[in-house]
Amino acid sequence: MEHATFLRPEARPPSSRGIAASLPPDLLEQVRGRVRLLALFLLAAFAFDPVLFFSTWGLATLFHKPLEREFFANLPFQWVNLSAVTASAALWWAASKHRVSASRLHTIGLAYEIVICFVIAMISFWQQYLHSGVLPNLTWVPAVVILFPLIMPGPPRQMLAAAVAAGTMAPLALLVLDVFDKVSGAADAYAPAIVGSAFAVGFAFLGARVVYGLGRQVAVAQEMGSYRLEEKLGHGGMGEVWRARHRMLARPAAIKLIRPALTAGARPEAVEDMKRRFEREAQVTARLRSPHTVNLFDFGITDDGAFYYVMELLDGLDADTLVKRFGPLPAERVVHVLRQVCHSLSEADSCGLIHRDIKPANIFLCSYGEDHDFVKVLDFGLVKAFKESNHEAVTELTGENAIQGTPAFIAPEQALGKTDLDGRVDVYATGCVAYWLLTGQTVFSADTPMGLLVQHVNAPAAPPSTRTEMPIPAALDRLVLECLSKDPNQRPQSAKELARRLEHVDGVGEWTEDQARAWWAKHVP
C-alpha cells in the first residue's frame, strides 16, 4: 500500500499558513512583484534628498566653497531619509527572495508601512516648521495608509490593525517632535493629523475588504473538488496542467483540465468531442496499473463546466527536454529507459489499448522515491481500444478521417489514416524515441508536417549509428531499425517482445542505480 501522510481536516500544509492559505499563488506572486516595485520606487524617492545633499556638501568641500548655515540645518532630515532608504532596501530584498514566504513578506510589508508612515510624518512636520514656523494640516501619511491594502491584500482585520498603527504615526511623530522641542504644537495642532488618519483608516479597511474578497473569489474559482490550483505548469491542445494541493493530504498533485474558456468559439460538436476524449483519457489511465504509467487520483467536473483529472506530480524532466539540454544518452541508459516504456505499453496492449502518441515529451524521467531515471508514460489522450466489441469504445473520438499523433513520431499506417491499428504503431513510435535518445535527432526532418508523414511512409531510415558520434552497439542499431520497419510484420510484434529483446541486446552494459543517482546529483540536484 502506498504511503500517504494525512493532516487533520482543519490543518493547513506548512507552506499554506496565513495569507498564503487565503489567496491563490498567482495573485500572491503578483503581490510580490508589486511590493518589490513599490519598495524600489520609495527607495529612489527617499534617496534623492540625501544623494543631492551629500553630493553638494562633498563638492563644496572639494572646491573649498563655504555653505550657508541653513544648509546644515537639513542634515538631521537626511539621516531620517537614509533610515527610510534602508527599510525600503530591506523590503525590496525580501520581496526578491522566493525563499521568503508570502506570509512573512506580508508581515514585513506591514511593518514597513508603519515605519514609512512615521518617517514621512517626521519629515513633513519638522521640515515645514523649521522653514516656515507653521505645522502642515496634512501629510502623505493618509495616502500611504489607503494605498497599502491595495498593493498588499490581506485579511481585513489584519489590514485594519496595520492601518490603525500606521495612522497613529502622524500624531505620534508630532508628539515626539514636540517633546524634543523641535516644533511647538498646541493641542489643536493634533486634530488635523488624527482626523486625516482616521478617515484614511476607514478607507483602507473598505479597500482591504474589497480586494481581499476578490482574491478569495479567485481562490475558490481555482479549486477543483478537494484540490486547489497553485501554479500553471503548461498547456496544450487538450487543456492546461497545474500544480495543485489537496486540502487534507500533504502530497501535492498535478491537475489537467479543460476550462470552458478554452473551448469558447468552437463548434458544439467539437467541444463535445474534446470532452469525450478527455473523459476517456481519464477512464483509460485509471484502468492501468503499471508503475511506469502516470497514476490517476481523481476525475470530475466543476460547477462552471471545467473538466479535470488529478494525477501524481512528478519530479524530473521529459525525454525531449533531457536530450535538448544534455545531449544524446549512452546506449545502456537508452535501453534502461525503453524497457520501462515498454512495461507501460505492454500493460496497455494487454488491455486492448494503444497509446498512439508515444514521443519524447510524453516520456518522463524522474526521481521517484529512492529510484532515479524512473520512467512514467504520460498523456493517454489519443488512446484507442482495438479489441473491445462495444462500438462506442472503438469509435474514433477525434473526427472522421483525421490523422492523430505527432508527425515526427508516427507509424506509416497511422500516417496513412488506417483504422485497423494495433500495438505495433506504438512499437514504431518507441523506435523513433530510441532514435532521438541515441542521436539527439528525429528519424526524419522536413519543413512541413506533411513532409514528415510522407517520409515515414516511403523513406528508409538511416541507422542511428550513422547520425551520432556516440558509440551504439550493432545489435541495438539493428533493433531500432526493425522497430522502424514500414511493414508492421517486420517489427517486434508487441511492446512485451520489444522489452524482452532489449533485455538481451548484445554489447549493451547495465545502467545501474548508482550511475543514475550520480547523474541526477550532478545535473538535476
Active site residues: 357
Cα separation, 319 vs 323, in Å, equals 6
Contacts 24+ apart (CB under 8 A), 254-257: 254/310, 254/311, 254/312, 254/313, 254/314, 255/224, 255/227, 255/229, 255/308, 255/309, 255/310, 255/311, 256/308, 256/309, 256/311, 257/224, 257/306, 257/307, 257/308, 257/309
> For 218-262, what is the HEC assignment?
HHHHCEECCEEEEEEEEEECCEEEEEEEECCECCEEEEEEECHHH
Direct distance between the N- and C-terminal alpha carbons of the chain, in angstroms, rounded to an integer:
28
Please tell me whether residue 28 adopts helix, strand or coil conformation. helix
Cβ(285)–Cβ(380) below 8 Å: yes
The residue count of the chain comes to 525
Residue among 362, 360, 351, 356 at smallest CA distance from 283: 351
Rg value, the chain, Cα: 33
Cα separation, 130 vs 170, in Å, equals 17
DSSP calls for 185-227? --GGGHHHHHHHHHHHHHHHHHHHHHHHHHHHHHHHHTEETTE
Cβ(390)–Cβ(417) below 8 Å: no
Chain mean position to CA 53: 45
Cβ(193)–Cβ(171) below 8 Å: yes
Cα separation, 151 vs 149, in Å, equals 5
For the CA atoms of 120, 144, 172, 139, the dihedral, rounded to the nearest 10 degrees, stands at 60
Neighbours of 198 (CB within 10 A): 13
Interior CA angle at 503 toward 501 and 507, to 5°?
95
Q: How far is CA 518 from CA 337, 371, 513, in A?
A: 16, 12, 8
Residue among 118, 121, 112 at smallest CA distance from 192: 121
Q: Is the dihedral of CA 288, 284, 345, 367 positive or negative?
A: negative
DSSP 8-state secondary structure symbol assigned to residue 264: T
- The x, y and z cell numbers of residue 485, run together, are 520497419
β-sheet with 227-236: strand ranges across: 223-224, 227-236, 239-246, 252-258, 307-312, 296-301
Element housing 350 (H / E): helix 331-350
